[in-house]
Homo-oligomer: A and B are copies of this chain.
Amino acid sequence: MPTIAIREATIDDCPLILRFIQELADYEKASDEVVATVPLLRESLFGPTSPSRALVCHVDGEEAGFAVYFHNYSTWQGRRGLYLEDLYVSPKHRGTGAGKALLRRLAQIAVAGGCGRFEWSVLDWNQPAIDFYKSLGAVPLDEWVRYRLAGEALARFAEAG
């Protein structure tokens, strides 16, 4: 049985986290969309007003994966939730239980923090991930579609007021 160790990330983990972010983007067929840098991660993940937190995972002492999460909010529940933005386990360490261990740690953080929900998003073609999430008891919110305003469209709309 591999030994899986999960800990909170520190600012010194930013080069590792960036490497994993790039590997995950490659897998999601979005290699060109990563504009994060180590200095940006240092400020945005570990600055005083950062909304987000990160975990890193080692398998048998080797760097194996990471997770980044923040707290969202449900008006219906009147309480915060936990939203998993990214979870990644490197190909070498898949099948070791590292992904499930990261998810379980996040579920424990959610429960301990009084969160009503633990949520994340998955690409609709990623069937292995979907099957895995369903096996845990997670349900798809497939009536909902996320919309995004970014870049010039965001700037233009903000300025028009």
Proximity string of chain A (131-146) to chain B, C-beta cutoff 8 Å, 1 when within and 0 when not:
0010011111111111
CB-nearest residue of chain B to A111 = B158
Contacts of A72 in B (CB 8 A): 51, 70, 72, 83, 85
Residues of B within 8 Å of A51, CB to CB, are 51, 70-73, 80
B68 & A75 in contact (Cβ 8 Å cutoff): yes
Contact partners of A154 in chain B: CB under 8 A: 107, 110-111, 117-118, 137
Cα(A1)–Cα(B35), bound, Å:
43
A92 contacts partner chain B, Cβ-Cβ < 8 Å: no
Bound CA–CA A36/B73 (angstroms): 12
The verdict on A86 contacting chain B, using a C-beta distance below 8 Å, is yes
CA distance A143 to B72 in the complex (A): 21
